[in-house]
Structure 1
């Protein structure tokens, strides 16, 4: 029995060691792959090669009025809860590998743009629903670059004399637009295959920007030579005096179509440290249930009820006075104790022993009035007599004793 707590402690320690070693190996593998662009997160706080920490930190320098607000909920929910996003002159930036939206999200995005706002989307694969709504067609192609120093992104705008190319030895996006609505769409850039991959779509009073190369927002790309100018170029089309600037950190964590209602757990569980903490808590709770389910405290025995010692006290006093053959004092002691018993137990005044007193005592003690009347009459007789015989004392004692027994 005493060895069970020891086994429980050893099991917990062994589990902690295994988890620490596993997490260390996991972290080391992550560090070894820190320059692997195939697992880009595009997350604003990720400082690894595929993160967007550098781009996010640069945004306040590109927009004058406000600091950047991070969004961690679906667009439809943000648009419904945030009142300021419903006004005009706002900028919303969304960077992800694949864009998975719902019909509500797309409707909210278009409502947002139609009010005079700008939506900038940089993804490798747009959502088919958004593609159908905005009337453009994309072709997915390989994201691998075989030339280490080849051009990965080129910006060319027919409205202004600009033709700028950027290079870096990393992942590139081969996807491009094969069909657009020329009445509302302008081509702003091309991929390494010289295919259009950056467009601007006019929608009502606002604009939607679509860039099929999210790697231009990664740390590895921006920190290579002067590639930071690429970010400045593609964001130069947005209003630098925007009332509010939003950075989306929800869709870059979605790897499949959304199902059901959004929960904050979808955001929390994407972090490795949070997942480890949740599973460790579950395991520890299971161990606690297994080893502590059996009751360890001894059963507390039932405590016997406190017995009425009034009868024992009367017997002791009675034997003392009876041996001395002092019947008068013994009878008076019995009367005093009897009256005190009535006062303490039934809270009755014993100064006046009239009919009201008899009725009250009978009601509280459940003893018939006739028995109480006889007992009180005997009390009165004892108080008047100076000499009490043994037979009278015995009869008086039995009468009081019977009252005590009936009121137990």
Structure 2
């Protein structure tokens, strides 16, 4: 039994240690590339979204969840528009409206894994992935930005590149060691369209390295200084969706006012109805304890009848019943054998038990019991209860 307790204690200790280790074990790193501005995981873009003002001092960064068509339609103030998404889908209407905005002085930066819609066909480019890791290092073509050593990145975040593009229209901003462009610039009117094939270069993981921070800063410096910076949430589906049951009411100003009027109207109705129907709560006296009154009435009845024999008999019967239930004594004959058993089971001295049993036998033989005899019997019985 002792060995079992030792094994049980050791097993319990090991289980507790295991649970503590599991509880304090750091959560596994999520390497999924979400490119979401709210994500602090390696391949989220939280760091870039928060530090854009370091690249554009004094600028106001605003989120937009509109399509390109809706955003650029009728926009007069020029600004820089940034899209970092896993997939970019640009329709014909989006593309044409975006070009109008760029010609008017806006600048658009787009980086993604997958180009959907008309943009790739209209600008005549295609992308691919470099198989050789040694050739994925990149550098700028501009002499002022070009480094003596190429920017090297791990986890293949710089492996994607443009394998074909219109050389007459596109200007190469940066390329990899194999000579393939990964960053292109298209000029339209007063603005520019900047396309990068490596969105992960702008994620938290990349920006926390020296190469990544320098490359991202230099790449975004091709956007001109502007006080209006727009961060696209539409293409990457970063829009916070309202899942409230009341979203249908708050989507429309008319329904919103109808909801407020109904709510406060109902609140006023309930308030005045409660006030009008309230009544004084009557004070209810607590129930009286009738036990004392009952005992007094019973006592008066017995006292007026003066039936001492009946009272003495009831006290004796109650005592004998107590002895049978509590000590399992046979009370048919109150003799020497009964006294010996009672002394042994109750632990009370023999002399007192003999006096008590003897007096009970004496009272049982009397046809009438005086007040003095009844009092003496009661004293002996009460003294017995005190001794046990």
Which residue of the partner structure matches residue 141 of structure 1? 129
CA distance in structure 1 between the partners assigned to 2:229 and 2:136 by the alignment: 27
Please point out which of 227, 236, 240 is paired with 1:268.
Answer: 240
Residue 168 (structure 1) aligned with residue 153 (structure 2): yes
Q: Residue in 2 aligned with 1:196?
A: 181
C-alpha distance in 2 between matches for 1:229 and 1:161 = 10
The residue number in structure 2 matching 1:154 is: 138
- C-alpha distance in structure 1 between counterparts of 2:112 and 2:60, whole Å: 24
Asked whether the equivalents of residues 174 and 193 of structure 1 are also in contact (C-alpha less than 8 Å), the reply is: no
Q: How many residues align?
A: 220
Alpha-carbon offset, residue 49 of structure 1? 0.9
Indicate the RMSD between aligned Cα atoms, in angstroms.
2.9
**Are the structure 2 counterparts of residues 210 and 95 from structure 1 closer, same or farther at C-alpha, using a change threshold of 3 Å?**
same
Asked whether the equivalents of residues 128 and 161 of structure 2 are also in contact (C-alpha less than 8 Å), the reply is yes
Please, which of 41, 47, 50 is the counterpart of residue 57 of structure 1? Answer: 50
Q: Secondary structure at the match of 1:227?
A: helix
**TM-score, structure 1 normalization:** 0.49
In the TM superposition, what are the counterparts of 1:51-200 in structure 2 within 5 Å? 51-80=44-73, 85-88=75-78, 90-134=79-123, 136-141=124-129, 152-158=136-142, 160=144, 162-163=146-147, 165-191=150-176, 193-200=178-185
1-side partners of 2:177 and 2:29: how far apart?
A: 25
Change (3 A) 1:233 1:161: closer
1:117 positional shift: 1.7
In structure 2, list runs of 5 or more residues that go unmatched.
1-23, 246-388
Q: Give the unaligned 5+ runs of structure 1.
A: 1-27, 255-266, 279-408
Query: 2-side partners of 1:232 and 1:179: how far apart?
Result: 26
Match of 2:51, SS state, is helix
Within 5 A, what are the aligned runs for 1:291-370?
Answer: none
- State which structure, 1 or 2, has the greater radius of gyration over its C-alpha atoms: 2
Residues 174 and 192, structure 1, Cα contact 8 Å, conserved in 2: no
SS at match of 1:110: helix
1:72 positional shift? 1.7
Q: Is the 8 A contact 1:138 1:179 kept in 2?
A: yes
1:161/1:79 CA distance change after superposition, 3 Å:
closer
CA drift at 1:161: 6.2
TM-score normalised per structure 2: 0.51
Displacement of 1:196 in angstroms is 0.8
